[in-house]
Structure 1
Amino acid sequence: MNFIIWILVGGIIGWLASIVMKTDAQQGYFLNIVVGIVGALVGGWLVSPLVGSSTINQDNFSLSSLIVSFIGAILLLGIINLIRRGRAR
């Protein structure tokens, strides 16, 4: 059951991050889920040590973990935009 919640929350985080980064029209449901989950990993590596909070990948569904995962997803989409287009949006 926790796996299903993890996928749903990852999809929502990826969708919100794609709206912020204006890549929503290019992404589907599957890519939003991937961005949310991988973005949570990026947030765990880069943002989590700075703020002292875990991510959704560590079975913590608190508000701070959702924010760290969301920031990680935005960073991931920014990195992807830099690689694909040579600039961030």
Structure 2
Amino acid sequence: MGIIAFLILGLIAGAIAKLIIPGDQPGGWLSTLVLGVVGALLGGWIGSAVFGVGLEEFWSIQTWLVAIVGAVIVLLIWGFFTRSRRTV
């Protein structure tokens, strides 16, 4: 997959992850989309390391699932750290 396709995949995965996670997440849409790109990278790494499934083709369902799961994980971690900073 090319770098442009990977960026588009990450941006869309970040938007979907924002819709999946309930409640109000810290940061705006721009930070969520950037975190989605990081999440897609993380999801691809975890998927290939654990399940042998990575980010292979743009239109593959496994690529999308792995990217969305990775984006959800990154958004949850981001929310955990930013919430703890706001309450202190």
TM-score normalised by L of structure 1: 0.71
Quick one: distance in 1 between partners of 2:3 and 2:48?
22
Q: Show the counterpart of 2:81.
A: 83
Matches within 5 A, 1:41-80: 41-55=41-55, 60-61=57-58, 62-80=60-78
Which letter maps to 2:31?
Answer: L
Change (3 A) 1:63 1:32: same
Q: What are the ranges of 5 or more consecutive residues in structure 2 without an aligned counterpart?
A: none
Quick one: distance in 2 between partners of 1:45 and 1:6?
13
User: CA offsets per residue over residues 32-88 of structure 1, 9 Å max, x none?
Assistant: 431221001211233432221112xxx5221101111110000000111111113xx
Q: Percent identity?
A: 30
Change (3 A) 1:46 1:3: closer
CA contact (8 A) 2:43 2:71 kept: yes
Q: Is the partner of 1:33 in helix, strand or coil? A: helix
The higher relative CO (CA closer than 8 Å, separation ≥ 6) is in 2
CA contact (8 A) 1:36 1:73 kept: yes
Which letter maps to 1:27?
Answer: G
Q: Is the partner of 2:33 in helix, strand or coil? A: helix
Q: What are the ranges of 5 or more consecutive residues in structure 1 without an aligned counterpart?
A: none
TM-score normalised by L of structure 2: 0.71
Quick one: distance in 2 between partners of 1:26 and 1:83?
12
